[in-house]
Amino acid sequence: MGIKLTTLNLQGFTEWETRQPEIVAYLKESDPDVILFQEVVFIPDISPFNQVQLLNQTLQYAYEQSAVTRLQPSPHYRTYREGLAVLSKYPIVKTDTIILRQTPGDEHNRIVQLIDILKDGVVVKYANVHFSLSEIVDYATPHLQETLEILAARGEERIIAGDFNLSNLQASSALWQEHYVSSGEVPYVSYPGENKQIDYILAPKSLSIDTVEVSPDGLSDHRAVAAVIDGIG
């Protein structure tokens, strides 16, 4: 039993009126079973809904869950919340949101959205992630390590997907390669502005990642990453 998974960083409401129809058209055509979104924002000065809620008014996925819990300072808006969200064709039976440790110097409190989805009698577990940007200081690798440690302590196997903000995931392979396979084994660019691969899917080794593809440009400053996950059930 396979499941088609897509992950996309939505880039907030930047140029939203132009991008929204492009995102809808892409997702309608590619028709994923589950979509994980990052950089989902609630800015009531712009809309009483976050972008995923607005997208789903057209897409009409049966199941939707947002974890837009991070308070973001903004010079432009009185209220700015940021986080993660999921759309699913199949029932979302459980969710949890975990706040990761904040490394000194990192201005962001990052979260992990845990989602359990029931497909054909089998619960498939996901972790939606958006780690902090790593340029001068590597904030993302500690976030990945902490996420893996939490899942291991809970005795859980989850498909981990999202914006890892790591341009060389293989450099951290000692943390995950014993238990996970990576979409990064396929060459693709998910952040075209810097010709980087920073969005990934990690799947437990009991599963396999097939047919990894990226979206056209124009949806966001990121390209969506889509893959079929086989071996479920």
Sequence ranges of the domains in the chain: 3-230
For residue 177, the model assigns a pLDDT of: 96
CA 169 → CA 49, 141, 160, 179, distances in Å? 33, 9, 13, 15
For residue 232, the model assigns a pLDDT of: 86
For residue 76, the model assigns a pLDDT of: 84
For residue 101, the model assigns a pLDDT of: 95
| Average confidence (pLDDT) per 10 residues, the chain, 233 residues | 93 97 98 98 96 98 95 81 97 97 90 97 97 88 97 97 96 96 96 97 96 97 97 83
Helix, strand, coil in percent for the chain, rounding step 5: 20, 40, 40
For residue 137, the model assigns a pLDDT of: 86
- Strand arrangement, sheet containing 159-163: 92-99, 111-119, 122-130, 159-163, 199-204, 180-182
Tokens of 159: 């498909």
For residue 1, the model assigns a pLDDT of: 61
**pTM for the full predicted model:** 0.97
CA 118 → CA 6, 123, 187, distances in Å? 17, 4, 31
- Tell me which of 3.50.50.60, 3.30.56.10, 3.30.930.10, 3.60.10.10 is the CATH number of domain 3-230: 3.60.10.10
**Count of CB atoms within 10 A of residue 125's CB?**
17
Give the whole-angstrom CA distance, residue 123 versus residue 197. Answer: 29
